[in-house]
Amino acid sequence: MGINKKTLAITLFFQLLSSVACFSRSDFTSTFLFGTATSSYQIEGAYLEGNKSLSNWDVFTHLPGKIKDGRTGDIADDHYHRYMEDISLMHSLGVNSYRFSMSWSRILPRGRFGDVNPVGIKFYNRIIDSLLIKGIQPFVTLNHFDVPQELEDRYGSWLSPQIREDFGHLAEVCFKEFGDRVKFWTTFNEPNLFVKFSYAFGKYPPGRCSEPYANCTTGDSEVEPYIAAHNIILSHATAVDIYRKNYQVKQGGSIGIVITSKWYEPLTNSTADCLATQRALSFEGPWILDPILLGDYPSEMHEVLGSRLPIFTYEEKKLLLNKLDFIGINHYSTNYVMDCMLSSCDLDGYMRDALIATTGYKDGVLIGEPTALPTYYAVPYGIEKMVRYIMERYNNVPMYITENGYAQGSSGAFTKELINDTERIKFMHSYLTFLSAAISQGADVRGYFSWSLLDNFEWAFGYTVRFGLFHVDYKTQRRTPKLSAKWYKKFLSGKKLQLRTSTQNNEI
């Protein structure tokens, strides 16, 4: 295609978008964080380098049959060796922040049973310093699913209260080593999701579960996810307590936790479906956030789960209270909800404990565009409703959208369709439009991180889905900007993305 025709096609595309809504970077405050997000296991590779120990994910991905395409994060995006190039890519986008996680196995290969690993500290120091030189704020996740395998082998990691001391130790090492420069910390990424995949469905390490949830050699899907989450919530409080007592005043940063949640709409306006929808929402973010901000698990969880739900002691409740400065929200999609408590129906796989069924269809019409992940439809208004729900439930505690992004399916080959990701642009544009609507209604949202900077290892899906603004050719590790990267850069440069009066601005 000639350059003029290509430019014309892109111009027409942006004209199409402008009919959706007109907005720009200036609809968000100048201090609003715009960034991209990644996590250590999904991008770093170098799994045996730098005196790192094996993590639970290193061990799990090497077991046969665990990952869809049979691949591992041994090399992933080779970010461990290419971090300077990747920081340059971020810089080229014009982002002012970067959300990434630190590998526990690099920093404390043996948890509290061994020493701090200076090679790991040096690696993250180089990343932090290189980011700051480019004016990019590090936004650090202490735990994004990966744990040293030794903690799994010694005491069952999240199933044991012992993990609280280990996590507190990791947090303290990180505050001490990096807190002079890192001003944004989160303790956990998506605990409400990963405990279910780890302990109810056996899809994440340690691969425990029981029937009827799934088939594993050992586990108890009915109770273990709730025990793990309980220990995670208390581990979070332990880390925040250490930060507040010993570091926060001196270092001047803030600390939060990241939950993930779909938005849920009742399928019908029956009371049962409306209550089921409230229940669905409670079983996602509030499971983790209510104990910290409202003093206990949501009442819907108590009602359904009874004694399956652990109890916080008086002392623990005191430790937990208000132990966060902000909430991180990972949000991708919206589903319809049907009640399965009063009438029998096929329980949803992922949300079965909430006694609901979910669907993407109402009267034969799909709720939004499908993406490469089953049940993940693009429903832009969901982000506005999600943010308003969190804002109202928690009295407008500061919020960051810590993940939002679009999944492409991939045969693995580099194709023009993968690079010309107009669906992702449409996704980001429309989600950001609805996010700005929530903000104009008073929601205290302070940042947005696009998942993800790079195509990467998508957990149980392996490399079969691609979330990156940059395409990665896993054979050569070549990074190529997708059209969405160019769109994000253009958006961040402050140019209006509307084309009614002029078409010249819109070349990319």
Ligand X SMILES: *[C@@H]1O[C@H](CO)[C@@H](O)[C@H](O)[C@H]1NC(C)=O
DSSP label at residue 143: E
345 binds ligand X (CB under 6 A): no
Of the candidate spans 6-14, 23-31, 437-445, 448-456, the one that interacts with ligand X by CB under 6 A turns out to be 6-14
Alpha-carbon distances, residue 414 vs 382, 455, 478, 479 (angstroms):
32, 12, 10, 11
Separation between Cα atoms, residue 298 and residue 286, nearest integer Å:
6
H-assigned helices in 53-200: 56-61, 79-93, 104-107, 118-133, 149-155, 162-178, 191-199
Q: Choose the binding region for ligand X from 21-29, 73-81, 206-214, 310-318 (rule: CB under 6 A).
A: 206-214
Minimum CB distance to ligand X smaller for 259 or for 469: 469
Q: Pick one of 29, 215, 415, 441: the residue that binds ligand X (CB under 6 A).
A: 215
Residues with Cβ within 8 Å of residue 398, at least 6 apart in sequence: 254, 256, 325, 326, 327, 444, 445, 446
Q: How far is the CB of 464 from ligand X (least distance, A)?
A: 21
Q: Minimum CB separation from ligand X for residue 13, in Å?
A: 6
Q: Phi and psi of 288, rounded to 5°?
A: -90, -35
Round to the nearest angstrom and report the end-to-end CA distance of the chain: 16
Looking at the Cβ atoms of 271 and 322, the one nearer to ligand X is 271
Q: How many residues contact ligand X, by CB under 6 A? A: 13
Q: How far is the CB of 488 from ligand X (least distance, A)?
A: 16
The nearer residue to ligand X, 45 or 253, going by C-beta atoms, is 45
Catalytic hit among 150, 403, 423, 458:
403
C-beta separation of 17 from 426 below 8 A: yes
**3-class SS at 378?**
strand
Site string for ligand X, 371-400 (x = CB under 6 A): ------------------------------
Beta strands in 406-485 (DSSP E): 408-409, 445-451, 465-466, 470-473, 478-481
Active site residue 190: yes
Q: Is 218 in the site for ligand X (CB under 6 A)?
A: no
Q: Which is nearer to ligand X, 7 or 396 (CB)?
A: 7
Determine how β-strand 356-359 pairs with β-strand 361-362. Answer: unpaired
Candidate list 70, 114, 135, 212; residue touching ligand X; CB under 6 A: 212
| By CB under 6 A, residue 9 contacts ligand X | yes
Among 293, 317, 297, which residue's Cα sits nearest to residue 305?
Answer: 297
Residue 265: φ, ψ to 5°: -115, 135
- The distance of closest approach from Cβ of residue 422 to ligand X in the complex, given in angstroms and rounded to an integer, is 5
Annotated catalytic, 403? yes
Judged by CB under 6 A, the residue of 21, 54, 75, 214 near ligand X is: 214
- Judged by CB under 6 A, which of 30, 31, 217, 269 binds ligand X? 269
Residues 40-59 touching ligand X, rule: CB under 6 A, are 51
Can residue 500 be called a binding residue for ligand X (CB under 6 A)? Answer: no
- Tokens representing 361? 């269809």
Q: Name the β-bridge partners of 470.
A: 454, 481
The catalytic residues are 190, 403
Q: What are the residues binding ligand X (CB under 6 A)?
A: 6, 9, 13, 51, 119, 211-212, 214-215, 269, 416, 420, 422
